[in-house]
Structure 1
Amino acid sequence: MPSLLGDPSEKLTQQKAADLTAWFVSQACRPGSNGLPAPETNSPANLEKLLAAGAETYEVSGCINCHHFSVDEQPDEYQRHSLALIKRKFTASQLVRFLKSPQEHHRWSRMPDFNLSNEEAGGLSAYLIENSKGKIQNAMIPPAGSPQRGQTLYETLGCIQCHRSLEEARPVVSKFQPVPLNAKSLSAGCLADPAQLATTIPVFSLSSEQRAAIQTVLETASDSLFRRNAAETADRWFQQL
């Protein structure tokens, strides 16, 4: 996900983010529970039972191979992802739904489906949230957002290039035209030197080594980079592991 709105410290950037959020929220609908019960934590006994069951599921499923709970911002030695902020992202019931169907919203997610039962997902959800000790540093109070301005931003920023329009929303047609890659364009756009990026270019925060690696691949063949080839995508991920 590139940076599209500008300097995060500027009020205009914060207003744009608030407007986009307001539009997303206005279009959202309450997800169905699909028959999944919310974790019962209304008593200390229930909570203790859930946490014990969740700890067992966490261990048996091998979650520790890909995750940890450290709040340390330094990269993990084994390239695992921290769950320290998971309770800032999910409610208990939302996390249960995610654990039951990790690919529901993003089919390319690397999170596997462990075919958890309702009880296992409920216990694991409670365990993860209980052990999530991270805090968002310098959290700000956003300004009030406008759904109307947010919809305009969604259309003009090119969000549709990577995201589907929301359910029940007016269909949005992308007005962007793909630009053919050639040797002369490999140092322009997203691959340009950060100091020379235009304000309308998405910022991916690439290092000089990452830009050079991308340019090298694009100079030869890039077909294998597209996700339309599931076998090559899987092979690339296995090599990273």
Structure 2
Amino acid sequence: MTDPSKRIRLNSRSNTLKATFTSPEKGDAFFRLYWSTPDYGNEPIPPKYLKHLPNENLAKGKALRRGRQLAAEHRCFKCHANDAPVKGMPELAMDAPAFEGIGSRRGMDWMADWVLNPKKMRPSAKMPVMLHSSTAEADARSIGAYLGSLKSEQPPKSVSVDSDGISEGQALYKQLNCAACHTLEEEPAEKAKLAISQAQRKFGQAGALSAFLQNPQAHYKWIRMPNFVLTRKEANSLAAFLFSKSTPTKAISKNYDASRIAAGKKLVSSQGCLNCHSMNLENSFSVAAISDLTKGCLAGSPEGSSAQFDFTSTELMALRLFMKKSMASLGQASLTEFALRQTADSNCRNCHDQMESVPPFEVLGGKLKPGWAEKLLLGTLNEKPRPWLHARMPAFPARARGLAKGLAMLNGHSPVTPQEPPVDTEKAKVGRKLVSANGGFFCFSCHAIGSLKPAQVFDAQGINLAKVGDRLLPEYFRRWMSNPLRVDPQTKMPAYFNQGQSALFDILDGDARKQIEALHHYIRLGSEIMPPDVPGQ
């Protein structure tokens, strides 16, 4: 860490800051901007306090980034494959729902309507309209018939939509904050949210919806729907509730004859479906390289057989600017920008800045060790850090590594969990004394410590201290212990130190920094931690 600047007095309004950074000759460098006062130690300056003046280059850069994002999320290079590098921007690997067995997972008529006009079904849809002629509706029905004929070997298990399941599912809908991304039938439609009203028509049967809820990524790795690791019983109950809130729609058809299915198969092969959707079927669709940025998909009003994405004029401008000026950037992978794009697309702030007991979004990259955060986002942790909370953090497997690394880098930290020196056993012994009830802070009144359960929990149970060392970056732990309320104003954790001093004067001379260091060595023992002695036991 560099030396701090000279002490300055900040105005009550705007202050001009100038930071000069010189990159080292070798190795990676990370930049973090702190401030401090006589009362509080170094802490990151909250982004909400930092602003910049607009200028032409920033506006152009924003448009280029928007065009790059639009090109990736609309899968432009699944068709125009020769225009994109093999590796680079992570979103170039985005897939689409697999077709194998899809007839057992989706309703036939819903698929036909979706193919005909995706944005009519979901305003935020990225899939284009591919059928334009006078036979478009009939062609869509044929494609729906063919896809509906693709049954899996193991059909979904039956799920009863009864009152008990509906009641339990309603409670789960609230606990999991499903409303962050979805809207119930009686609520006003919101473009950014997906309506529950289509559930029956989309999935056909509650069993198919339950199977989807248990593993949303099974047939679509990059789906935005996260994995809450639901049990079968939970998924059945939630499916029952969602079906009870969706609109029953009379099916247009039950089955189609062989000729219509054959016609649908030919259309799937020839209309570009297989450029995005995986299936063991010959793909006879191809397009030319991008040459004229005012024609084809990028025309204001696409004609002929071109895909119709219904881009706004602003989106078209951004796409054309990107494809003219910055196509080479597709070969680059900036994980900080990936994290910004994907946390916005995944609605992370709808939970992290809205729900009680859920940590604020801004601190995550500077709080969690990237390796642990990746396991959390993959859904591979053996247990929840806070099993007593109803809220649960879902998994985003396809995005996990990029998010974990990118969030750390956004906060000026290494994307790789830093190596720490070996645990100092003498300091750990002092840490054990500090957490005790006999001359210590009595930490196990709220926190479990290894096998020792918390003694006096009311409404503020804390995480097991044996689990903290694997989770938290050392810098965050020290800042948190120095003054928890400065980090999270809603926390119930009290402050034990004031202006570098501890109330426990007889331990390490009451030096807050040394006591926090001892506590850190103690919690780093993890599964080998020895709980403190309990008075009377």
- The question of a shared fold, defined as TM-score above 0.5 by the shorter chain, is answered with yes
Per-residue deviation, 1:219? 2.4
Residue of structure 2 in register with 1:86 after alignment: 199
Rate the CA distance shift 1:189–1:63 in 2: closer, same or farther, 3 A. same
Residue of structure 2 in register with 1:108 after alignment: 222
Q: What do the CA deviations read for 1:39-70 (whole angstroms, capped 9, x no partner)?
A: 334xxxxx221112111111111111111114
Tell whether the 8 Å contact from 2:132 to 2:305 is kept in structure 1 after alignment.
no
Q: Aligned AA for 1:235?
A: L
Pairing 1:19–2:145 present: no
Rate the CA distance shift 1:94–1:229 in 2: closer, same or farther, 3 A. farther
Residue of structure 2 in register with 1:3 after alignment: 129
Tell whether the 8 Å contact from 1:71 to 1:134 is kept in structure 2 after alignment.
no
Mark the structure with the bigger radius of gyration: 2
Residue of structure 1 in register with 2:341 after alignment: 236
Tell whether the 8 Å contact from 1:19 to 1:147 is kept in structure 2 after alignment.
yes
Residues in 1 aligned to 2:296 and 2:316: alpha-carbon distance in whole angstroms:
11
Tell whether the 8 Å contact from 1:71 to 1:82 is kept in structure 2 after alignment.
no
Tell whether the 8 Å contact from 1:161 to 1:174 is kept in structure 2 after alignment.
no
Per-residue deviation, 1:3? 1.0
Residues in 2 aligned to 1:15 and 1:192: alpha-carbon distance in whole angstroms:
26
Residue of structure 2 in register with 1:38 after alignment: 158
* 1:172-187 → structure 2 map (5 Å cutoff): 172-179=282-289, 181-182=290-291, 185-187=292-294
Residue of structure 2 in register with 1:51 after alignment: 166
Q: Aligned AA for 2:132?
A: G
Residues in 1 aligned to 2:188 and 2:270: alpha-carbon distance in whole angstroms:
34
Residues in 2 aligned to 1:140 and 1:32: alpha-carbon distance in whole angstroms:
22
Tell whether the 8 Å contact from 2:143 to 2:261 is kept in structure 1 after alignment.
yes
Tell whether the 8 Å contact from 1:71 to 1:133 is kept in structure 2 after alignment.
no
Give the superposed CA RMSD.
Answer: 3.1
> Percent identity of the aligned residues?
25
Q: What do the CA deviations read for 1:2-51 (whole angstroms, capped 9, x no partner)?
A: 111116xx4x2222112222222333335444xxx53334xxxxx22111
Q: Aligned AA for 1:188?
A: K
* 1:129-168 → structure 2 map (5 Å cutoff): 129-133=243-247, 146-166=260-280
Which has the larger displacement, 124-133 or 146-155? 146-155
Rate the CA distance shift 1:74–1:57 in 2: closer, same or farther, 3 A. closer
Q: What do the CA deviations read for 1:42-101 (whole angstroms, capped 9, x no partner)?
A: xxxxx221112111111111111111114677535xx32221211111210000000000
Per-residue deviation, 1:129? 0.8
Residue of structure 2 in register with 1:29 after alignment: 152
TM-score by length of 2: 0.36
Residues in 1 aligned to 2:183 and 2:197: alpha-carbon distance in whole angstroms:
8
Secondary structure at the counterpart of residue 152 of structure 2:
coil
Residues in 2 aligned to 1:224 and 1:61: alpha-carbon distance in whole angstroms:
38
Per-residue deviation, 1:178? 5.0
TM-score by length of 1: 0.76
Pairing 1:203–2:271 present: no
Tell whether the 8 Å contact from 2:160 to 2:206 is kept in structure 1 after alignment.
no
Residues in 1 aligned to 2:170 and 2:194: alpha-carbon distance in whole angstroms:
18
Tell whether the 8 Å contact from 1:225 to 1:233 is kept in structure 2 after alignment.
no
Residue of structure 1 in register with 2:298 after alignment: 191
Secondary structure at the counterpart of residue 85 of structure 1:
helix
Q: Aligned AA for 1:190?
A: C
Ranges in structure 2 where 5+ consecutive residues have no aligned partner: 1-126, 348-537
Residues in 2 aligned to 1:157 and 1:49: alpha-carbon distance in whole angstroms:
45
Q: How many residues align?
A: 216
Residue of structure 1 in register with 2:318 after alignment: 213
Residues in 2 aligned to 1:230 and 1:60: alpha-carbon distance in whole angstroms:
34
